Amino acid sequence: MILDKLIALCYFLLFFLTPLLMYSKTSELFEFNKMLFIYWIALAVASLWIAKMISLKKLFFRRTPLDIVIIPFFLSLVISTILSIDRHTSFFGYYGRFNGGLLSTVAYLVLYYGFVSNIDLDRLNLLTNNLLLKISLIASLIVILWGLPGHFGYDMSCFVFTGELSNNCWTSQFRPHERMFSTLGQPNWLGAYLAINFFIGLYFFIQKFLKKQNWLWFYIYLLLNFVGILFTRSRSALMALIVGIVLCFMYLSLKKQVNKKLILTTLILFILPIILFKTGISQVDKYLSLPRQVTSSVLKSTSSQTAIPNDSSVTESFDIRKIVWYGAIQLGFKYPLFGSGVETFAYAYNFVRPAAHNLTSEWDFIYNKAHNEYLNFLATTGFIGLISYLLLIIGYLFFVFRAIKKQQNLLIIFLTIGWITILITNFFGFSTTTVNIYFYLIPAVAFVITLDSQKEIIYKTLSSIQKTFLIVPVIIFILGTTYIVNYFLADISYAEGDNYFKIQQYSAAESKLDQALSMRSEPVYMDKLSSTIANKSLFDLSSGQTNDKKALQGQINNNYKKAVMFSQQAINSSSRNVYYWRTFSKVLFIFYQISPQVQIYDQAIKTLDTAINLAPTDAKLFYTKALFYMSSEDSDLNKVKNSNDNYEKALINIEKAIELKKDYRDVYLLKGTTLNRLGRKSEAKVVFQWMLEQFNPKDEEVLHELQSL
């Protein structure tokens, strides 16, 4: 019985702690820590499950109605991983998102089958008290209360991380006073999580309300939950909530469980927060106004803080999504069967990236997801992966419709409506760690409710052989925990190294990155280490740390070999990752600047050409290549030739960059400079004057170039 309780405890911890976990010293504050915790809980469940089977000398694996669709779904991911353009990423997930790789799917499926095989809601008294669901509500309430102060300028995460109760610890990408994200990491992720829990809370509220029991506490929770969703300004979460509410009241109306008092109470729940805090959707908010009597300074400050500035230079997110979605569809047709590989969208998107993406405000961002879960499956796992995923969804919904006809269980209905909100928010975004827990475990809870209760398990005295075999799950747990802790510590070292790199403390960065690599062989670490070593070499040369030229040259040669080795190792693990090729080209060019050698320069150009072949619509690559040609022409090796060949080559790449991105200010500046050096001063003047008209009439850099003509 103790093993059953320990397994149940694992799920309590999973639902309670996962949404709350974050850590400032890891490379990614939110998803990385949550993912590692999910791995650890899945490991604990698997170990306890094995121990239970050894103790009872019986195989415990409960079949579910979804087995017939889970098997092809999982197999499609396995095959997609094997055929992937980057198997490492497909297995572990994209570094920075982590969720979605094959390993994470294994963890979720272990949790799914571990629940249905070991959790008996009646025997463990979980169904009577709904303890697991209440724990979920408590966790979500803490998440809401944690995030609310940030909306008013007093972020709790900043207080924990820096000791300062303000929003100042966040960069411009994170604006908790405009869009709340709390411990989930992004507003849309928080909105999706709150939408699921809203319907769990709504179940308790309606149940208590209809029975005329104490429903006020659940009503207050729903009010706070909805305010939280409004503060995220997540349109997808708001849409999911509206659809869910309609489905709830359609069902209750059919069962004649709706009365005027319930409708009125529920309407107040929505109307009051919307009037006070608006929806964030301008087309709706223009019809809303605060009542005249509401004049408190708090509401005034809230209104001013939540208003998102209208910046015409910022492309509407949905417009960007449409471009990315088009690219995802193109990628799906490029790899129609099993896609480019699980979680490889960040790299494969470059193969088909629409040129229109260059004209958006996020043209230089790395899109590691398609921002549509279904198109992401199409692009990375092909039509077979997408179809198997859709069959998984349809399979559960089909089961629910059949279960409703038989049992009319209100809890299953509300859980399923909460689950449907995931399908909606995933359409405009992608799955995250916390939301995926509900995606896999809500069906597990529904199955356990409907399936017959398991017979009472009687644990007998263990034989010596059984005791010996119990070492197996213990070893599995210890080894798995060691691996997870090592992964965690390696990431901390990587994050420290990256931070040192950003402030140009390259020696310290190299030390930390070496430390990270000693704990975990990760291509991302290798790529960063290669760039660090190259920049360190350039920094050491410019600072004149040694007068011994022979020693300095020997140091440069060693650094060159080491940097090239790490770049090549990263590329060998992911030969179609344009970002690794781009890093390698820059590393080579840095060493060319340190020690001008034709072979290094030629290799840098060839490497950049490979990157361009992988990402033919990336305007920045052509701009970089033009810079390479310009710098080469200015070097001592080319001055003696008295030739302008490289300037002409630079101009060709400049024109290509402009063709791909007509509003590329930097490349126009480079064009004017190049024309000037070619002696085509009148053409250069036209370019600079055009820049002043189109971009900024007070651009000091352009004005200086004009004066020099």
H, E, C per residue of 304-365: HHHCCCCCCCCCCHHHHHHHHHHHHHHHHHHCCCCCCCCCCHHHHHHHHCCHHHHHCCCCCC
Q: What is the mean pLDDT of residues 72-86?
A: 97
- Min mean pLDDT across 120-124, 264-268, 407-411, 593-597 is at 120-124
Angle (nearest 5°) at CA 108 between 102 and 114 = 135
- The answer to whether 466 and 57 have CB atoms below 8 angstroms apart is yes
Tell me: pLDDT of 169 over 50.
yes
End-to-end CA distance of the chain: 86
> What's the mean pLDDT in 640-669?
87
**Residues 426/386, Cβ–Cβ less than 8 Å:** no
pTM here? 0.92
Average pLDDT over residues 214-219: 92
Residue 82 vs residues 79, 88, 451, 480: alpha-carbon distances, Å: 5, 10, 36, 23
pLDDT band per the 50, 70, 90 thresholds, residue 302: very low
Q: What is the DSSP letter of 461?
A: P
Write the pLDDT tens digit of every residue in 343-363. 999 999 999 999 999 999 999
Please give the distance of CA 8 from its chain centroid, rounded to a whole number.
Answer: 29
> What residue type is assigned to position 400 of the chain?
V
422: nearest Cα among 632, 196, 201, 658: 196
AA letter at 361: S
Q: What is the model's pLDDT at position 298?
A: 40
Q: Are 351 and 395 in contact (CB under 8 A)?
A: no
Question: Does position 590 have pLDDT exceeding 80, yes or no?
Answer: yes
Q: What is the mean pLDDT of residues 628-647?
A: 67
**For 536-549, what is the mean pLDDT?**
75
pLDDT higher than 80, residue 241: yes
Cα 550 → chain centroid: 48
| pLDDT at residue 305, as a whole number | 40
Read off the tokens for 349.
């998107």
CATH class of the domain defined by 490-617: mainly alpha
Work out the pLDDT band at 221, boundaries 50, 70, 90. Answer: very high
- Please give the average per-residue pLDDT across 431-439, as a whole number: 96
Find the mean pLDDT for residues 236-247: 95
- Side-chain-side CA neighbours of 490 within 13 Å: the count stands at 20
pLDDT band at 256 (very low <50, low <70, confident <90, very high): confident
Instruction: Say what percent of the chain tops pLDDT 90.
Output: 70
Q: What is the pLDDT of residue 276?
A: 87
CA angle 272, 276, 280 (to 5 degrees): 110
Position 602, amino acid: D
**pLDDT bucket at 544, cuts 50 / 70 / 90:** low
Mean pLDDT to the nearest integer, 492-521: 96
User: Domain ranges in the chain?
Assistant: 2-291+299-306+327-450, 490-617
Rounded to whole angstroms, the Cα distance separating 405 from 542 reads 77
Residues contacting 419, CB < 8 A, separation 6+? 196, 396, 438, 439, 442, 443
Percentage above 70 pLDDT, the chain: 92
Between 510 and 316, where is the model more confident? 510
Could you tell me which of 274, 335, 280 has the C-alpha nearest to residue 310? Answer: 280
Instruction: Check residue 278 and give its pLDDT.
Output: 85
- Rounded to whole angstroms, how far apart are CA atoms 540 and 442? 57
Could you tell me which of 433, 422, 429 has the C-alpha nearest to residue 29? 433
